[in-house]
Amino acid sequence: QLVNGFTLMDYAKKHNLVLPAFNTTDYEMTLAIVKAFDEMGLGGYIQISSNNLKFSSPQIIANMTREVMERENVSTPIGLHLDHGKSFDDVKACIDAGFTSVMVDASELPYKENIKAVKRASEYAHFFNIPVEAELGGIKGKEDDHVSDVNAKTHPEDVLNFVEKTGCDVLAVAVGNVHGLDLSPNLDFPLLEEVAKNSPVPLVLHGGSGIPFDQVRKAKNSNLIKVNYGSDLRKAYIKTFGQSYDQNHNEFNLIAVASAGVDKVIDAAKNIIHEVNEV
Ligand code: G3H
Ligand code: ZN
């Protein structure tokens, strides 16, 4: 069922899991992600970025996620998370719509501005008992239609102060992870360990697509609680449409093609769930 973000974090700790967080954009991706978690019998996050919410709305996504989970009769715990929340208004709209966890991504702002933005969102979110993920450092690569060439690894000496000042509950770090499929990630483990040592809260890795699974599993020792996967699932979905069109230019049964795409996304998500925790 759809669960509160703090409850989901407790579940991860209790079962010693790193929770995959899969990016959705629409009904088909949501259905595939829910089914993958349900079929694997493990919990995790469905998330959508501020940017992709422009295509629908927080209310549409929250209602749809609840409906899909009810219809599929899902019993495994799933959180609905705002990914790369770009403004206070986005954070507020998602919490008001029923999201159970949020991220405030002000990492492109100067350090003090980042703190200010996260602190404001944390105060609002905590009033509703919703956890907040913040980001410290710059993650290079392609995130939706935004390409960042900022590669500012997280400074371990900033971590404690940042967490204390912002009140964030989870911290996304830049330790050699990248967004998208165009760059090669390579986790800097000494840095990750240093960051983890200084962080009073669990860590999140963005840019899961492309990180070798043995590296993700190793990162688990550094208080990792969540890994984000976007591109891998979108690629599986979009590829199906390309292949279908190549095979038959006269295929007009959209549902047949979409459900083949959903099946591919389920397989990709299940493989990730399996690999991340060796279940
Ligand atoms: O926030 C979303 C993720 O960081 C997605 O990254 O597309 O490289 O898997 P990815
Ligand atoms: Zn990300």
Query: Which member of 83, 144, 169, 232 is catalytic?
Result: 83
Neighbours of 279 (CB within 10 A): 11
Which residues span the domain enclosing 266? Answer: 5-277
CA 79 to chain centre: 10
The pLDDT value recorded for residue 140 is: 82
Ligand 1 mean position to 264 CA, how many Å? 18
Q: CA 12 to CA 268: how far, in whole Å?
A: 21
Residue 47's DSSP bridge partners are 23, 81
DSSP string across 182-200: SS-----HHHHHHHHHH-S
Pocket flag, ligand 1, residue 209 (CB < 6 Å): yes
Pocket flag, ligand 1, residue 84 (CB < 6 Å): yes
Structure tokens at 155: 């400074």
Pocket flag, ligand 1, residue 206 (CB < 6 Å): yes
Q: Where are the alpha helices (DSSP H) in the chain?
A: 5-14, 27-40, 50-53, 58-71, 88-97, 111-127, 156-166, 189-198, 213-219, 231-247, 254-277
| Annotation says 83 is catalytic | yes
Task: Name the residue type at position 48.
Answer: I
Tokens 């919703």 -> residue: 130
Contact assessment for residue 99 and residue 82, using Cβ atoms and an 8 Å cutoff? yes
Structure tokens at 44: 């995790």
**pLDDT, tens only, 60-108:** 999 999 999 999 999 999 999 999 999 999 999 999 999 999 999 999 9
Q: CA 177 to CA 95: how far, in whole Å?
A: 28
Instruction: Give pLDDT < 70 ranges for the chain.
Output: 149-151
Identify which ligand lies nearest to the alpha carbon of 23: 1
In the chain, the percentage of residues whose pLDDT exceeds 70 is 99
Q: For residue 211, which of 237, 236, 239, 180 has the smallest C-alpha distance?
A: 180
Ligand 1 mean position to 47 CA, how many Å? 10
Please check if 179 is assigned to a binding site: yes
The pLDDT value recorded for residue 83 is: 98
Please check if 135 is assigned to a binding site: yes
Q: How many domains are contained in the chain?
A: 1
Neighbours of 197 (CB within 10 A): 12
Q: CA 227 to CA 246: how far, in whole Å?
A: 34
Please check if 155 is assigned to a binding site: no
Q: CA 98 to CA 269: how far, in whole Å?
A: 24
The pLDDT value recorded for residue 265 is: 98
Sign of CA dihedral 255, 258, 264, 268: negative
The pLDDT value recorded for residue 271 is: 98
The pLDDT value recorded for residue 279 is: 82
Q: CA 49 to CA 185: how far, in whole Å?
A: 21
ipTM over 0.90: yes
Strand-pair category, 141-143 with 132-136: unpaired
Give the domain CATH number at 132: 3.20.20.70
Pocket flag, ligand 1, residue 92 (CB < 6 Å): no
